[in-house]
Amino acid sequence: MARFKKIAIIGVGLIGGSIGLAIKKRRLAKEVIGVFRREKTLEKALTHKAIDKATMFIADGVSKADLIIAASPVRSIPKIIKEAAKHAKKGAMITDVGSTKGWIVNEVEKIFSDLRHISFIGSHPMAGSEHAGVEFARADLLESAPCIVTRTARTNKAALKEIVAFWSALGAKVKVMSPPAHDKSVSLISHLPHIAAFGLAGAVPVKELAYAAEGFKDTTRVASSDPKLWADIFLTNKKEILKAGQAFEKYYKQILKAISEGDYSKTVNLLKKAKAKRDKLIYEK
């Protein structure tokens, strides 16, 4: 049974396209409308059956939607939501997929102080890959993926419940928290690992790449991600990332120090503690 009549997805890249495919596979809406500024991308999204209808205009796409999903790069989200809110019908809900939440939710709530007829709930489905574009979209991208949904003092509780149910219906493991708690969590679990991967790839002389084996490939895979997308994310979560950097450097430097001192048992202990944490992800799937 369809939970929504119309869902509008603004931005039909990897994430937006995958959400469209998942909505259609699970029949959560009668119609999915894709909004994007480039016609060619919309054509691709239609070909991939990620959306049912396409439009280049936000006003046109959102006017009859019950649910509007902003699936564009972080820094564009508040602007896009502002435009969408102007044209949304009464009772519509808006959410997003941005990887930082404090900055986005704060910017959007500024706009929404004047708009009482629609609700905004911040979301961050933690799925993706180093690839960009609807051609990489998959209906199962969100299955079993963590999805953080944010609550603030101004959050409409009924809308929060609906958005949680929506992501759960797509197969995601939803957790509700405040935007600052989200930003802290993802700084260590996502943003900093990306910076470390970019750092490792950036530091390797090109001629050494010939000897890159699986270890290097996996450790640096996310360094193939879109630089502009990630610069947006990093710059909107600066404070937490710098704190996460300190935690990482502390552990990393302890390992290097144990190595430089030739201290075998200290080195083994530091690696063991790290392995114990990483192993939890193997067994607790």
Rounded Cα distance between 205 and 40, Å, is: 37
3-state helix, strand, coil in the chain (%, to 5): 55, 15, 30
The least distance separating a second copy from the CB of residue 209, rounded to whole angstroms, comes to 6
Report, in Å, the least distance between residue 74 CB and a second copy: 12
Closest CA to 92 of 125, 71, 70, 72: 70
Q: Toward a second copy, which CB reaches closer, 6 or 191?
A: 191
Identify which of 225, 226, 234, 232 has the alpha carbon closest to the alpha carbon of residue 78. Answer: 232
Please calculate the CA angle 245-75-193 and round it to the nearest 5 degrees.
25
Nearest-angstrom CA–CA distance, 122 and 127 = 16
Token couple for 128: 């993706």
Q: Beta strand pairing status for 146-150 and 123-125?
A: antiparallel
* CB of 248 vs a second copy, minimal distance in Å: 4
Q: In the complex with a second copy, which residue's Cβ is closer, 46 or 196?
A: 196
Which residue number, 157 or 207, has a Cβ lying nearer to a second copy?
207
Shortest Å distance, C-beta 166 to a second copy: 19
Least distance CB 92 / a second copy (angstroms):
28
CA dist 159 and 169 (Å) reads 15
In this complex, which beta carbon is closest to a second copy, that of residue 55 or of residue 99? Answer: 99
Q: Is 186 left (phi over 0), alpha (psi -120 to 50) or beta?
A: alpha
Residue with smaller CB distance to a second copy, 27 or 273: 273
Q: Report helix, strand or coil for 125.
A: strand
User: Least distance (Å) from a second copy to the CB of residue 155?
Assistant: 20
Query: What's the closest the beta carbon of residue 78 comes to a second copy, in angstroms?
Result: 16
Indicate the residue among 111 and 196 with the shorter CB distance to a second copy.
196
Q: Pick between residue 53 and residue 243 the one whose CB is nearest to a second copy.
A: 243
Q: Which of 39, 106, 53, 115 is nearest to 84 (CA)?
A: 115
